[in-house]
């Protein structure tokens, strides 16, 4: 609650509120109401504005991969379910290498219809070299509150090398 004096020439006034003024409020919609009163005590009709207080980050969940070890085939079809995304939320997803957690090596996309994080342009994760990675998914609501989900995974595209040695000296087995 505050009282402000309007500009004598223009009638304009403004009210600035500190963030701390709203910290005691629980999340929800509130109505701000202003009434102007002149020097003679005449009051104007009330003017109102709705204000939304939203201090909570979205509650989301990235379904864990059944097997976080991906080969060439499974990396190319990579998809993970992301639940809890609400209309108006912004989803960003990227893959980071274990050696550089600040610069993404691959950006991913969110398929809102399927509710899944996937490789961009149908590539999946097949563009990644062998190694350890983290998929980091950030969900931000309209108020700017953000939550983050992380999935560790390993890419292993190299098939094992198998070498058979000769059997005996002549290649025959006998009793």
Write the pLDDT tens digit of every residue in 56-71.
Answer: 999 999 999 888 899 8
Higher pLDDT residue, 101 or 5?
Answer: 101
What DSSP letter does each residue of 110-129 carry, written as one string?
EETTTTEEEEGGG-TTTTSP
Q: Token pair of 55, please?
A: 């201090």
Write the pLDDT tens digit of every residue in 93-127.
Answer: 999 999 888 999 999 999 999 999 998 776 788 88
Q: Do residues 67 and 77 touch, judged by C-beta distance below 8 A? A: no
Using CA atoms, how far apart are residues 93 and 107, in angstroms rounded to an integer?
6
């Amino acid at each position: 609650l505050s009282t402000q004096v309007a500009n004598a020439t223009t009638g304009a006034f403004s009210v600035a509120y500190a963030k701390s003024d709203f910290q005691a409020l629980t999340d929800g919609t509130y109505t701000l109401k202003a009434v102007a009163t002149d020097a003679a005590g005449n009051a104007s009709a009330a003017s109102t504005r709705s204000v939304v207080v939203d201090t909570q980050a979205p509650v989301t969940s990235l379904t864990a991969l059944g097997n976080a070890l991906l080969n060439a085939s499974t990396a190319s079809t990579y998809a993970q379910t992301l639940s809890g995304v609400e209309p108006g939320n912004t989803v960003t997803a990227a893959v980071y290498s274990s050696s550089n957690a600040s610069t993404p090596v691959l950006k991913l996309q969110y398929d809102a219809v399927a509710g899944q994080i996937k490789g961009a342009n149908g590539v999946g994760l097949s563009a990644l070299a062998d190694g350890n990675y983290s998929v980091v998914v950030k969900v931000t609501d309209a108020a700017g509150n953000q939550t983050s989900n992380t999935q560790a995974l390993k890419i292993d595209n190299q098939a094992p090398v198998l070498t058979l040695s000769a059997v005996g000296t002549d290649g025959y087995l006998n009793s």
